[in-house]
C-alpha cells in the first residue's frame, strides 16, 4: 500500500464494496521458496472471501495459512503535461484493496455451493441472458471437475486500500489529468479511472 495517508482515506465499507464488485484478485501466501501467487475469482462474504483452487496449485497444497488477496481496479499512466503545472513528473494512478487474513481449506462438500455462488454472482451481471447452472453439466463430467478443485475461505482480519487519484494536486490539476487520461482513449478501464479521479475519492 502507498504510504501517503492522503491516498488512504477511503473507509473500509467502501473498500469492501469495491472488492465485492470486482470479484477477482491475486491471492498471495508465503511459500517455502518464496511468495506463491494465484489469480482467482472470489465471492465476498461479510467477513471472508471464498474461492477455489486447482489441486495442483502450490497454494492449495500448502493447505492455507497467512494470506493476502490483492484486488486492483482501474489504473493508468498520467503524463505531467496534463496537469497544467510546472515541474511535475510522470506517475501512475490506480485503485487497490488488500484483504489480509488466514486462508483455510473448506470441506470438499462445500464445493458445489461455492461454485453455485460464484457462477450466480457473475452470471447475474450478464442479464438478460439466462443464468447458467451446474445442472446443465452431465453428472459424471461435473464429478470429475469437482475432484480437481478445492474450496477455500480467507478469513479477513484487515482491510487496506489505496486510491491514488491525484488528491495531492490542486483540484484544477487533478481534473485536467483526468481529462487527459480520458482523451488518450486507452479503453473503458482508464475512462472509469478518470471518472473516479474527477471525484477525487472512491
Ordered DSSP codes for 50-112: EEEEETTSHHHHHT-EEEEEEEEEEEEEE-GGGS--SS---EEEEEEEEEEEEEEEPPGGGHH
Angle at 85 between CA 81 and CA 86, to 5 degrees: 90
Confidence at residue 1, expressed as pLDDT on a 0 to 100 scale: 85
Q: pTM for this one?
A: 0.93
Confidence at residue 63, expressed as pLDDT on a 0 to 100 scale: 78
Cα–Cα nearest to 7, from 193, 159, 164, 160: 164
pLDDT by position in tens, the chain (length 202): 899 999 999 999 999 999 999 999 999 999 888 899 999 999 999 899 999 999 999 999 887 899 999 999 989 999 999 999 999 999 999 999 999 999 999 999 999 999 999 999 999 999 999 999 999 999 999 999 999 999 999 999 999 999 999 999 999 999 999 999 999 988 888 999 999 999 877 7
Confidence at residue 200, expressed as pLDDT on a 0 to 100 scale: 78
Largest CA distance in the chain: 66
3-state secondary structure of 174: helix
Based on its alpha-carbon atoms, the radius of gyration of the chain, rounded to whole angstroms, reads 20
Confidence at residue 188, expressed as pLDDT on a 0 to 100 scale: 86
Domain ranges of the chain: 5-193
Confidence at residue 78, expressed as pLDDT on a 0 to 100 scale: 96
Angle at 2 between CA 169 and CA 196, to 5 degrees: 50
Query: Of all helices (H) and strands (E), which one includes residue 196?
Result: helix 188-199
CATH number of 5-193: 2.30.110.10
**Residue 72, φ and ψ in degrees, nearest 5:** -105, 150
Whole-number Cα distances in Å, 158 to 31, 48, 62, 67: 21, 11, 22, 11
Amino acid at each position: 500500500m502507498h504510504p501517503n495517508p492522503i491516498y488512504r482515506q477511503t473507509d473500509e465499507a467502501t473498500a469492501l464494496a469495491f472488492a465485492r464488485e470486482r470479484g477477482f484478485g491475486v491471492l498471495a501466501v508465503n511459500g517455502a521458496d518464496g511468495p506463491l501467487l494465484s489469480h482467482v475469482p472470489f465471492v465476498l462474504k461479510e467477513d471472508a472471501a471464498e474461492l477455489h483452487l486447482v489441486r495442483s496449485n502450490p497454494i492449495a497444497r500448502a493447505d492455507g495459512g497467512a494470506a493476502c488477496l490483492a484486488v486492483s481496479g482501474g489504473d493508468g499512466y498520467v503524463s505531467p503535461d496534463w496537469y497544467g503545472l510546472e515541474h511535475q513528473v510522470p506517475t501512475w494512478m490506480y485503485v487497490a484493496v488488500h484483504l489480509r487474513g488466514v486462508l483455510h481449506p473448506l470441506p470438499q462438500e462445500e464445493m458445489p455451493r461455492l461454485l453455485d455462488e460464484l457462477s450466480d454472482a457473475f452470471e447475474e451481471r450478464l442479464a438478460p441472458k439466462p443464468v447458467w447452472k451446474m445442472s446443465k453439466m452431465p453428472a459424471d463430467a461435473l464429478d470429475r471437475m469437482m475432484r480437481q478443485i478445492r474450496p477455500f475461505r480467507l478469513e479477513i482480519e484487515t482491510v487496506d486500500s489505496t486510491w491514488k487519484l491525484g488528491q495531492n494536486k490542486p483540484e484544477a490539476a487533478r481534473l485536467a489529468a483526468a481529462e487527459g487520461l480520458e482523451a488518450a482513449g486507452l479503453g473503458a478501464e482508464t475512462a472509469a479511472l478518470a471518472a473516479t479521479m474527477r471525484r477525487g475519492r472512491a
